[in-house]
Copies of this chain bind each other. A is one copy, B any other.
């Protein structure tokens, strides 16, 4: 589809986003972008003030063309939700009536469950200035509202759509702590690798009489090993640190052992530069 990266999966499923009498094309465009960011694609407009299509919406959508091009326009909210099985209304304020009020996480879980069961769902968002009327809220099944700063509660329409779209995306994840990419392997090095590092650094320090006075040597070694153990260094990190120690050790001592630091002691870039300088 237009404006998307064909190599990566384009998510386009989930609840319809229904904007009731939106006023500004920019806001409609930002809504489309927020939807695309989190895998929604079905945008419906009820009686947009400035008509449709909208150049301003297109510009603000930042290439969410598949959302903008598929946008449907309706004269009434009743028509806009006619084919849906379950509808949320977003509102920032208490309403009279019998409808359950849900947090975004709860609403997203419900929408996901109903989506998985084959239901068609939607979320209503009101006008920029004053939201939805009570009559419009009454057409929905339940209410969703956002946990906001009590003294600064007004979310704009694109922000509200963004948050619901984000919660929709999270509701489909097996683990909400999962990330699309990971750090390099963060498994701590084996103890053998760690002890080899202890040996290197302690030998270098010992040759400089760092361990002094003799009565304190065991405690000093304990402290040093504790500092070096707590971070849980990985094998590549230990390679970097061994390179650093080799470099410091080599520069001062000018190869007292009669050899340069071996390259395989410095597995990371820059790790053996100091050693070469020491030799110059």
Say whether chain A's binding surface is mostly helix, strand, loop, or mixed: loop
A270 to chain B, nearest CB (A): 13
**Is A183 engaged at the interface, CB distance under 8 Å to the other chain?**
yes
Report the bound CA distance from A153 to B181 in whole Å: 13
Interface 9-mer from A72-80, A102-110, A249-257: A102-110
**Is A118 engaged at the interface, CB distance under 8 Å to the other chain?**
no
Q: Which residues of chain A (1-38) have a CB below 8 Å from chain B?
A: 4-6, 8-11, 33-34, 36-38
**Is A134 engaged at the interface, CB distance under 8 Å to the other chain?**
no
**Is A82 engaged at the interface, CB distance under 8 Å to the other chain?**
no
**Is A214 engaged at the interface, CB distance under 8 Å to the other chain?**
no
Report the bound CA distance from A182 to B4 in whole Å: 41
**Is A117 engaged at the interface, CB distance under 8 Å to the other chain?**
no
List chain B residues, Cβ under 8 A from A99.
183
Extra inter-chain contacts (10) besides given A11-B150, A37-B159, A38-B147, CB under 8 Å? A9-B151, A34-B159, A37-B148, A37-B152, A37-B153, A37-B155, A98-B237, A143-B183, A147-B178, A162-B163
By a beta-carbon cutoff of 8 Å, the part of chain A in contact with chain B is 4-6, 8-11, 33-34, 36-39, 62-64, 93-94, 96-103, 105-106, 143, 145-156, 159, 162-163, 166, 169-170, 173, 176-184, 186, 234, 236-237
